[in-house]
Amino acid sequence: MVPLVPRFPAIVEKPPMLVRGDRVGLIAPASPPTRDDIAESVAHIESLGLLPVLGKYVHEQNGYLAGSDTQRAADFNAMAADAGVRAIVAIRGGYGTMRLLPLLDYEAVRRDPKIVMGFSDLTALLNAVTARSGVVTFHGPVGAHGSSWSGVARTYLEAALFNDQPLSPAGGARPVVPGRARGRLAGGNLALVAALVGTPYAVPTDGAILFLEETEEAPYRIDRMLTQLDLAGQLSAARGILIGQCTKCTAPFPTHSAAEVIEERLKALGRPAATGAPIGHIQAQWVLPIGVEAELDATNGTLTFLEAACGPPRR
């Protein structure tokens, strides 16, 4: 029997939009950042007219983790509980965020909604916070992802964080299975979405528009992860699927390409689906609000946001 697939709450709250001068917490929930990573993140937050606040443990290192699980969770929880902090941004991804999921203070985010942003390994945290706190989170750049804080990427970023109106429609994807679908946005990094299957923190794909991206995974591994999601019922539960970029997803031996593997699986599903959206480990990535109602027009390769991602500024 295919297990029940989780879905987001019927009502998802919007965090207040940012205004210049707001305080932004910088945390390291995954791999340890370098001093350059931290300095770059501080500079990026300041460039938006915001005030960076470093987590207590961002300089810690525990092997391949940025401190112990308790320390990394404590930084998130402290920022979530601080009414003066209006956003929480990860300095970098890497590995380790899913270890924190049982330790996070979801009620603090529910009581005082605020922007939470990151991507890649942060996929686990973002979807868990939206599902358990009922607050929109943001699949967007980490602090040290330099190219995503300038140029057109900065336009995406500012439109998402400093705005209490629906974002402009996003285009540029290629159709795989034509059609339209509506649902709440869910997803992120394919490896994390697959790794959470069968846990209490599985990504809520039921009735969702599921978006996925990946980097440095061989095509056969992408096939395996998509198969895992398919067997768990998480792909068929989604109303539509939007694939971002699969950067450096090659193998040193003759094989199907990542694009061929993905298109084969999407066509077999028969859900409205498109690929090639600017999502993932790229220079100019869309900022996608997880939990927001959206419409995927796979025929024309567009994503339309049906509601705002942020509410009015906090008074």
Please identify every residue annotated as catalytic: 120, 213, 281
In sequence order, the β-bridge partners of residue 89 are 26, 117
From residue 93, alpha-carbon distances to 8, 142, 212, 232, 244 in Å are 24, 7, 16, 26, 18
Query: To which H or E segment does residue 242 belong?
Result: strand 240-247
CA distance 177 to 273: 5
Query: In a 10 Å sphere around its CB, with 0-12 CB exposed, 13-18 middle and 19+ buried, how is residue 180 labelled?
Result: middle
Helix, strand, or coil (residue 89): strand
CA distance 280 to 30: 17
Q: In 68-100, which positions are buried (b, 16+ CB within 10 angstroms) versus exposed (e)?
A: eeebbbbbbbbbbebeebbbbbbbbbbebbbbb
The per-residue DSSP string of 143-205 comes to: TT-GGGGSHHHHHHHHHHHS-SSPPPPB---EEEE--EEEEEEEEEEHHHHHHTTTSTT----
The encoded tokens of residue 54 equal: 């470093």
**Is the separation of the CB atoms in 164 and 311 below 8 Å?**
yes
